[in-house]
Structure 1
Amino acid sequence: MRLKCPLCGDRDRREFYYYGAEDYLHRPAEGAPLADWDNYLHLRDNPAGMTRDLWYHEAGCAQWLCVTRNTVTHEISGVKLVAERTK
């Protein structure tokens, strides 16, 4: 699989670190029940079809990317920076 980094161009997926589904950024609130933390840390959906995932360009520009892809066909339909570079 290849990802097109907005800064570095077309790259092999081995340059990137897969972090998980985009909703992984939504941590339980302070004081949340232990069951919420258990779900957050250990349970992951494994959807078939379109997903939005976080990837880190570890061997490149060191930027976080949001990748829209189909988990069945491996088609990449979009890659964008999670945050704009400040310099």
Structure 2
Amino acid sequence: MKPSNEQMEAALAEAERLREADADPRGVAHMLLYLARRNAALERVCEVAERYVKFGLDENEHRQLLKALEAARETEDDIDLGLGSSS
């Protein structure tokens, strides 16, 4: 079941608190923050893709879709989970 906006805000605030307090030894808070940010970027891709398809594959909508996809890719690259992975 999808959490309410209030539940999501509370969970993200707690995750941020744990991260700032360095009280997240298994990285669960880091992962929640990462997935929330990633989800927001992918939601944007879905919104733009729906408009692109709905309005006849407009050139402007295509450009916005490409930008949203790039932003989603950058979100993935920009987030440092601090889990000590060496990739």
- TM-score normalized by the length of structure 2: 0.25
Bigger-Rg structure (1/2): 2
- TM-score normalized by the length of structure 1: 0.25
Please state which structure has a larger fraction of its residues in helix.
2
Please state which structure has a larger fraction of its residues in strand.
1
